[in-house]
Amino acid sequence: MEREIKLREAEKWLSRRDPIMRRLIGKVGPCGLKPMGSPYHVLLKSVIGQQLSLKAASTMEARVIGSFGSGKKFPKPTELRTASLKKLRSAGLSLAKAETIKRIALAYEEGNISDRKLKNLNDVEVLEALCNFKGVGPWTAEMVLMFALDRWDHFSLNDLILRKSIEKHYGIHRDSKKEILTFAEKFSPYRTIFSWYLWKDADGGEGW
């Protein structure tokens, strides 16, 4: 309940801050931002979803999970670490993604990284820790920040849908990254909520 109250406060703040955001909030309705799973789950989900449409990513995620008979959850790190690359690739993953998933699984299994550790890091530290993995770039790490760790003040400059939406609503060219990043600072401390509305308006989903 407390979280819902804070979301409504964020909506009011954004509405007062910007007339375009006020219109989008009126069109879309209450913000439905919520964690999509543990950092481990969202990290794997976002690796799989790199450079794919939402539909294609969902299909591939289901194949990976289904190939382990894990119900609706990703297999435990030990299962993924010991799985053959052939098995992961048979689910449709590229070699690079399969190798990245195995690196992540090994790190979790050995305790070099854990959900608890990530939750205790600040935003910059989370991005640094995750981007140390070969195959995990800024966009992938940002999805963990926003959709697993529930950090409300982040804007994913690496998300093309967000940049296209900025261009559509605010007239800043999608490739003017420095200008977009400076503009997004106007919506701090609710840049994630701001992003959620841009995503929702753009594709009816949450951008990945």
Question: For residue 72, what are the contacts with CB-CB under 8 A and spacing of at least 6?
Answer: 65
Alpha-carbon distances of 180 from 42, 57, 160, 169, rounded to whole Å: 26, 27, 12, 12
Could you say which architecture CATH assigns to the domain 39-148?
Answer: Orthogonal Bundle (1.10)
Class of domain 1-34+154-201: mainly alpha
Average confidence (pLDDT) over 51-57: 82
Q: Which of 100, 153, 143, 147 is nearest to 122 (CA)?
A: 153
CA 108 to CA 100: how far, in whole Å?
A: 12
**Number of CB atoms found within 10 A of residue 107's CB:** 17
The tens digit of pLDDT for each residue in 163-197 reads: 999 999 999 999 999 999 999 999 999 999 999 99
CA atoms within 13 Å, Cβ hemisphere of 124: 0
Q: Which of 88, 79, 97, 157 is nearest to 133 (CA)?
A: 97
52-56, 86-90, 147-151, 204-208 — most confident range:
147-151
The tens digit of pLDDT for each residue in 91-103 reads: 889 999 999 999 9
Band of the pLDDT at 129, cuts 50, 70, 90?
very high
CB neighbour class for 192 (10 Å; exposed up to 12, middle 13-18, buried from 19):
buried
Q: Domain coordinates of the chain in residue numbers? A: 1-34+154-201, 39-148
Q: Which residue type occupies 169?
A: H
Give how far the C-alpha of residue 53 lies from the chain's centroid of Cα atoms, to the nearest Å: 14
Q: What is the mean pLDDT of the chain?
A: 93
Q: Which of 115, 150, 154 is nearest to 138 (CA)?
A: 154
> CB–CB of 97/48 below 8 Å?
yes
pLDDT of residue 52: 80
**Number of CB atoms found within 10 A of residue 166's CB:** 23
The tens digit of pLDDT for each residue in 5-47 reads: 999 999 999 999 999 999 999 999 999 999 999 999 999 999 9
